[in-house]
Structure 1
Amino acid sequence: MELRQLKYFLKAKELLNFTEAAKVLNISQSTLSQQIKQLEDELNVQLFNRIGKRIFLTEAGEMFSEYALQGINRVNEGLMLLKDLNNLYTGKITIGVIYSMRILFAKALIKFAELYPTIKIQVVFGTTKDLLEKLNSHHFDFILSFDGDEQLPHLKYQRLLSSNMVLVTAKKSQLVNKKSISLEEVATLPLALPFSGYSTIQFFVDSFNQNKLVPKICMEINDIPTLFEIVKTGLWHTILSDTSVNDPNVVGIQIEGESMKRTITIISLKEAYEKKAVKKFYDILVNDG
């Protein structure tokens, strides 16, 4: 079994089309078909069902694909380790970040890029759910997210900082002079909240339910800047982490209660090789966060 055969198999699985997969891999279709057939012969199992020009993954192919992907990832991690041994600061790091961390993260990103200009950095913003799924598929070196109730054994968690949950309201709002606000009062206000899938809204839905409160959720929006525009009208309010409030026309009022604090965490795969550049980014986040 050769590494290239695994790569060919995974590309064919992704596209479910030998012709398209061969084009992407820059090889002939006959070469791809031959290599897949050799792999099936060696495994003594059929990975694809072939019906005319169409292909479908068999149950065996689906099961084998997980191990093939792990094999490719482990080889890539080995190559990264060797590159790091030869050159401490080289290559690329990919980071997933929840929207609530974008302001603090931007400061760390600028500092890192100034210190290590030869390293390519790819940043993807998303919801906790989406980022965790991509982390588990080895798309990220690490993600920044809120600490959840459940910690998974295959993930490594590094606590970064605590964040207060705040009611975000317009500067012209009658609430603006409040030092803090109760969850009960928040439930009576017209709310525009982040879209379902964001950990913030799930956190507050659970908090409202636990306190037998029914909030007035008027709209859900999957874009934080748009939420700020809605809030600035003075007609609606939103709930966010205080780390995400940076618009001069809105203010954040702390929501009362010890449970209204959340922990922002660095999450990575335990078994994945940790690049030296990633460790340097950790240092900046921890020391400057």
Structure 2
Amino acid sequence: MELRQLRYFVNAAEQLSFSDAAKLLNIAQSTLSQQVRQLEDELGVQLFERNSHAISLTEAGAELLPFARRTLHEADSCVARIHDLDQLLAGTLNIGVTYSFSPILTETLMEFMKKYPRVKLNIYYKPMVELMAMLEARAVDFVLAFRPSESMPVIESHMLFDNHLAVIVKESHPLAGLDSVSLADIGKFNLALPSKGLQARNAFDTYLAAHPAPLNIRIELNEVNILLELIKRSNLVTILAEATVYNQTGVKAIPLTPEANEMEGCVHMLKNCYRKHSAIEFIHMLRESNAVRARVRDWFR
């Protein structure tokens, strides 16, 4: 049994098409079919049901699939370990980031690229749910997001900083001069909120459940940069994590009263999984960055 055969089998099982799997692997369909057939002959079982239009896994194929995936992952991890040792910090680092983390990431990105020019960075900005799915699928090496409300068995979370929800307005807004703002205060203005499903919105909805109040929500967006532009250009009010406006000009973050629950900014990684040297170094640099060391509570001063 060869790793190549297992890789061909897994791709065919995921695509449920020999032709699509062959295109994905950039090989001839006949080559893929032959290798899968040799694997079946060696195992003495049929792995796929075949007809002129499609393929499907047999019971034996479905049983083999998770073991094949695990074997390929272990093989890839072995290669990654040797590659790191041989090339030091060369290679590729895949980072998942929620929109709220964008402002605190820039400093570390610039420093890391300058210090390690041989490492290619792939940054994925998506909602937390999508990023966690990517992490479980090993499509990213780690995720920067607030701690989820429910624990995830295969993921471990390490806190970077504590954070709170805040009222965000432009610097000339009538609320900007207050030391703290209540729901009654913001109820006098139109709101522009992050879309449901984003972490700041989830946290705010939980806050509202404990402190019910009538609010006039005029617009919801899933793009934080556009949301902040709306705030800068109008008297709209939004609710975001304090970290979202770190180093932002033209806006002010004001604490909610009563104080909203903490939102812990975390690094999320798979448990019992090999850590790339580049990932370890990037996280270390992020922890030492001015954005993280300042801590959220200092940002209100």
Same fold? TM cut 0.5: yes
Q: Is the 8 A contact 1:49 1:55 kept in 2?
A: yes
Tell me the secondary structure at the aligned position of residue 218 of structure 1: strand
Q: 1:146-192 deviations in whole A, cap 9, x for unaligned?
A: 01233333222211011231111223321111111124544564322
User: Which residue in the other structure is 2:252 paired with?
Assistant: 251
The residue correspondences of 1:49-128 to structure 2 (distance < 5 A) are: 49-58=49-58, 61-62=61-62, 64-128=64-128
* 1:217 Cα deviation from its structure 2 partner: 2.7
Q: Is the 8 A contact 1:228 1:247 kept in 2?
A: no
Provide the rounded CA distance (Å) in 1 between the counterparts of 2:59 and 2:199: 34
User: Which residue in the other structure is 1:177 paired with?
Assistant: 177
User: Which residue in the other structure is 1:5 paired with?
Assistant: 5
Q: 1:196-232 deviations in whole A, cap 9, x for unaligned?
A: 2211111111111122345433322111121123223
Gaps of 5+ in 1: none
Provide the rounded CA distance (Å) in 1 between the counterparts of 2:58 and 2:258: 53
User: Which residue in the other structure is 1:269 paired with?
Assistant: 270
Provide the rounded CA distance (Å) in 1 between the counterparts of 2:234 and 2:203: 24
Query: Relative to 1, partners in 2 of residues 1:208 and 1:28: Cα closer, same or farther, differing over 3 Å?
Result: same
Q: Is the 8 A contact 2:169 2:235 kept in 1?
A: no
* 1:238 Cα deviation from its structure 2 partner: 1.3
Q: Which moves more between the two structures, 199-208 or 48-57?
A: 48-57
Provide the rounded CA distance (Å) in 2 between the counterparts of 1:141 and 1:99: 18
User: Which residue in the other structure is 2:298 paired with?
Assistant: none
Matching residue's letter, 2:251: V
Provide the rounded CA distance (Å) in 2 between the counterparts of 1:112 and 1:101: 17
Matching residue's letter, 2:250: N
Q: Is the 8 A contact 1:135 1:141 kept in 2?
A: yes
Q: Is the 8 A contact 1:208 1:215 kept in 2?
A: no
Q: Is the 8 A contact 1:128 1:198 kept in 2?
A: yes
User: Which residue in the other structure is 1:218 paired with?
Assistant: 218
Structure with the larger strand share: 1
Q: Is the 8 A contact 1:208 1:214 kept in 2?
A: no
Query: Relative to 1, partners in 2 of residues 1:194 and 1:59: Cα closer, same or farther, differing over 3 Å?
Result: farther
Q: Which moves more between the two structures, 205-214 or 121-130?
A: 205-214
* 1:61 Cα deviation from its structure 2 partner: 4.1
Q: 1:40-80 deviations in whole A, cap 9, x for unaligned?
A: 44455544332313223456545543332222222111111
Aligned residue-pair number: 289
Q: Which moves more between the two structures, 92-101 or 243-252?
A: 243-252
Provide the rounded CA distance (Å) in 1 between the counterparts of 2:133 and 2:157: 16
Query: Relative to 1, partners in 2 of residues 1:88 and 1:216: Cα closer, same or farther, differing over 3 Å?
Result: same
Matching residue's letter, 1:121: L
Q: Is the 8 A contact 1:191 1:238 kept in 2?
A: yes
Query: Relative to 1, partners in 2 of residues 1:87 and 1:237: Cα closer, same or farther, differing over 3 Å?
Result: same
Tell me the secondary structure at the aligned position of residue 166 of structure 1: strand
Gaps of 5+ in 2: 293-301
Q: Normalising to structure 1: TM-score of the pair?
A: 0.90
C-alpha RMSD of the superposition: 2.2
Q: 1:249-270 deviations in whole A, cap 9, x for unaligned?
A: 3222121244443110011012
User: Which residue in the other structure is 2:190 paired with?
Assistant: 190
Provide the rounded CA distance (Å) in 1 between the counterparts of 2:210 and 2:187: 13
Query: Relative to 1, partners in 2 of residues 1:253 and 1:25: Cα closer, same or farther, differing over 3 Å?
Result: same
Q: Is the 8 A contact 2:179 2:255 kept in 1?
A: yes
Q: Normalising to structure 2: TM-score of the pair?
A: 0.87
Query: Relative to 1, partners in 2 of residues 1:45 and 1:158: Cα closer, same or farther, differing over 3 Å?
Result: same
Provide the rounded CA distance (Å) in 2 between the counterparts of 1:186 and 1:64: 57
Provide the rounded CA distance (Å) in 2 between the counterparts of 1:62 and 1:199: 36
Q: Which moves more between the two structures, 212-221 or 128-137?
A: 212-221
Q: Is the 8 A contact 2:189 2:235 kept in 1?
A: no
Q: Which moves more between the two structures, 178-187 or 166-175?
A: 178-187
Q: Is the 8 A contact 2:164 2:260 kept in 1?
A: no
Query: Relative to 1, partners in 2 of residues 1:15 and 1:179: Cα closer, same or farther, differing over 3 Å?
Result: same
User: Which residue in the other structure is 1:283 paired with?
Assistant: 284
Query: Relative to 1, partners in 2 of residues 1:141 and 1:216: Cα closer, same or farther, differing over 3 Å?
Result: same
Q: Which moves more between the two structures, 51-60 or 196-205?
A: 51-60
- Asked whether 1:27 is paired with 2:34, we answer no
